[in-house]
Structures are given as C-alpha cells and as structure tokens.
Amino acid sequence: MKRMPIFAAVVCVGIACMASTGARADCLDDAAIYFDLDPMLVRAIAKHESGMRADAVNRNRNGSYDIGLMQINTVWLPRLQEKGITAESLRNPCVNGYVGAWILRSNVERFGQTWKAVGAYNASSSDKQLKYANSVYSIWTRLRNMAFEQRTASAQ
C-alpha cells in the first residue's frame, strides 16, 4: 500500500482537528494506524515524553527544544519545514502525534520492529537507547494491562 507523504497526512489531520474536537482524542491512534505502528506503543512514548501534555516544551542542554505531545526535537525542523511543518504547527497535538509516529516509523524501517527502534526515538547512543526503551516498555506494559483489565471488567 502506498502511503501519502507526511505533509499531506499532517494537512489532513490539521483540517480534521479544526473540524472536530473528537478528532483530537483519536489522533495518536490514527497516527499509529496510519504508520502501521502499535497505538499503545505510540501512546506509551507520548506518556514518557510529555506525560500526555500537548503544551509541553523543554529545553535541552545542547540548546535545542522538544515540542509538544511527542516532544519533537527542533533538530527535525529543517526537514519538517521542507514539508511545510513549523515549530508552531508542532504545538497542535494531532500534527505532533503524526510527526512523532512518522519518526518512529522511520526508526522501525531502519532498525526493524525492535526496542532499538523505540530507543532511537530519543537517543543515538546504545546505552541511552536501552534506558529509554526500558522506560517506554514499562509504560507500554502498564497501558496494555490496564486495557486488558478494562476489557475483562466490562465483559463480566
């Protein structure tokens, strides 16, 4: 299946967000599905990165910033700006979620369906990747267990 470019996906998402407040609640799931990723994993990364806060902005020691729900680092801006995505548009949680999922998908294509791909979302060195992946794995496991418990409780 041929995917539309990230710019087209983000434009569609931005329009959907403006048209429907309910669209925001599903943006992470929609982005994960669009990029053929586990929605619970994308949600776990957002939880780790920003605590699910769309307005999160953090300055790094190297002077770069991490913006929004998925904490997209400003080092991505030159590449994103080629596609019409600015630092300001990254403040939109839907745009941010799609960009984060796109970054994760790029890592999966590079490293395979592995925790190294997850670790590379945040770090370039192997030791930091492992620490990050372990933290995301812990959140992912908790989220999956909570979802299982909710399904079990509602089935009774």
3-state secondary structure of 74: helix
Q: Which domain holds residue 52?
A: 6-113
Q: Could you tell me if residue 34 is inside a domain? A: yes
Q: Could you tell me if residue 35 is inside a domain? A: yes
Q: Could you tell me if residue 123 is inside a domain? A: no
* CATH label of the domain that carries residue 11: 1.10.530.10
Q: Could you tell me if residue 130 is inside a domain? A: no
pTM more than 0.85: no
Q: Could you tell me if residue 64 is inside a domain? A: yes
| Residue 103 to residue 6: CA distance in whole angstroms | 10
What's the number of domains the chain is made of? 1
| Residue 26 to residue 53: CA distance in whole angstroms | 15
Angle between helices 93-111 and 21-34 (to 10 degrees): 10
pLDDT digits (tens, 9 = 90+) for 33-80: 999 999 999 999 999 999 999 999 999 999 999 999 999 999 999 999
pLDDT digits (tens, 9 = 90+) for 69-123: 999 999 999 999 999 999 999 999 999 999 999 999 999 999 999 999 999 999 9
Q: Could you tell me if residue 18 is inside a domain? A: yes
Report which residue type is found at 83. K
pLDDT digits (tens, 9 = 90+) for 6-22: 655 555 555 444 444 44
Spatial strand order of the sheet with 57-59 comes to 57-59, 65-67, 72-73
pLDDT at 6: 61
Torsion on CA atoms 27, 29, 30, 31, rounded to nearest 10: 80
